[in-house]
Amino acid sequence: MARSQQMGRGATVVDVAKRAGVSSMTVSRVINGRSGVSAETRAVVEEAIKALAYTPNVAARNLVNSTELRIGIIYSNANAAFMSEFLTGVFEEASSRGARLILLKGEGGRAPAVEAIEELVASGLSGALLAPPLGEAPDVLRVLRDAGCAMAAVGAYQSPGKICVRIDDRAASYQMTRLLLDLGHRQLGFILGNPDQAASAERMAGFYAAIRETGGVEVQVVQGDFTYVSGLAAAEHLLAMPSRPTAIFASNDDMAAAVVSVAHRRHLDVPAELTVAGFDDTTAAHTLWPPLTTVHQPVRELAAEALSLLIAEIAAEKGHSRVPRETILDHRIVERQSTGSHVPYSPS
């Protein structure tokens, strides 16, 4: 007996695909009478459909062939503040465009299972919008490319088959580092973001570009992964050094908030004894004490622009799209009370 029947539910596209030894997209092509499937494979799929008594979702089949915009929002970001802004931008744009949104979330900060993405696409999507870091997740991109699904990604860097909307991470990081240097800091700590995201490398590159312009700077770099927990570990490491940094620049606000927390626990005054800067300008930046100096990344606008471009891509005739592959929106430095000047000690 099939597992789906044992569990008391009807068979799904994924169940049929597993039994037939093909992808969910192949099953979808057979169900909807599309080309690109060999007669032999089609027969195997039809046999699996019959064996599992699979009944196609009539509503979903009608949607595949309708003009309704159905956009899959695929995300795994554990940062609630970031996702709140992201989804607000998406909902506002979708409402004005008459698009229907279907959300698919990965658990524990991981991408959704390949089978879940395949089933989502097979249900009849017009396109998919990816929140970071999924715009650079190989398995997610492969499934969508194989399905010929239009896609746009926020915060990702350009690669074949997708639209990217982001800020200039390198320039933003350079400007923030330049601010710290101009405040007189010459012992800097830098907390890296997730090594699997291109934005992390770009932010590090911007940091070093500013450092190279200034002599006599001592740098300590620690790996993080954009989570608060990783920021705690990085801050403990940096602040336990015999010659600790006078300023720490974290690659996002969650890690910067963790630095402030560790500083408080060590009875260090921020910013009198330690300057802290972040990146993103999420809710954490202006709700912690002291409020955080950070890079403002217009997350809501990034998400809305990505959805707008995705819809334009979907509407374009195949092979005639003029939608830009990469769009860069403006950022800005927001100075708050977590940064202060530093005058190097010089013995008299």
- 60 close to 51: Cβ distance less than 8 angstroms: no
Residue 114 is predicted with a pLDDT of 92
CA distance 146 to 29: 12
Token pair listed for 345? 């000690």
Q: How many residues appear in the chain?
A: 348
Q: What is the pLDDT of residue 6?
A: 37
Beta strands in 86-171, from DSSP E residues, in sequence order: 100-105, 127-130, 150-154, 163-166
Paired sense of beta strands 332-334 and 293-296, if any = antiparallel
What is the SS3 assignment for 294? strand
Asked if residues 110 and 100 have their Cβ atoms less than 8 Å apart, the reply is no
Smallest Cα–Cα separation from 298: which of 277, 323, 313, 279? 279
Find out whether the peptide bond into 133 is cis, omega within 30 degrees of 0: yes
Question: pLDDT at position 127, please?
Answer: 94
Proportion of the chain in helix, strand, coil states, percent, rounded to 5? 45, 15, 40
Which tens digit of pLDDT belongs to each residue from 273-319?
999 999 999 888 999 999 999 999 999 999 999 999 999 998 876 65
E-assigned strand segments in the chain? 70-75, 100-105, 127-130, 150-154, 163-166, 187-192, 218-223, 247-250, 275-280, 293-296, 326-328, 332-334
Q: What is the pLDDT of residue 154?
A: 96
> In tens digits, what is the pLDDT along the chain, a chain of 348 residues?
333 333 344 666 667 778 888 876 677 667 766 666 788 888 888 888 888 887 655 444 444 444 678 999 999 976 778 888 899 999 999 988 889 999 999 887 789 999 999 889 988 889 999 999 999 999 999 999 988 899 999 999 988 789 999 999 999 999 999 999 999 999 999 999 999 899 999 999 999 999 999 989 999 999 999 999 999 999 999 999 999 999 999 999 999 999 999 999 999 999 999 999 999 998 889 999 999 999 999 999 999 999 999 999 988 766 566 788 899 999 999 999 999 998 765 444
What is residue 62's predicted lDDT score, i.e. its pLDDT?
A: 44
pLDDT at 49: 85
Q: Return the pLDDT at 30.
A: 78
Strands of 167-284, DSSP E: 187-192, 218-223, 247-250, 275-280
| DSSP string for 149-191 | -EEEEES----TT-EEEE--HHHHHHHHHHHHHHTT--EEEEE
Answer whether 209's CB lies under 8 Å from 174's CB. Answer: yes
User: Do residues 171 and 312 touch, judged by C-beta distance below 8 A?
Assistant: no
pLDDT value for 97: 85
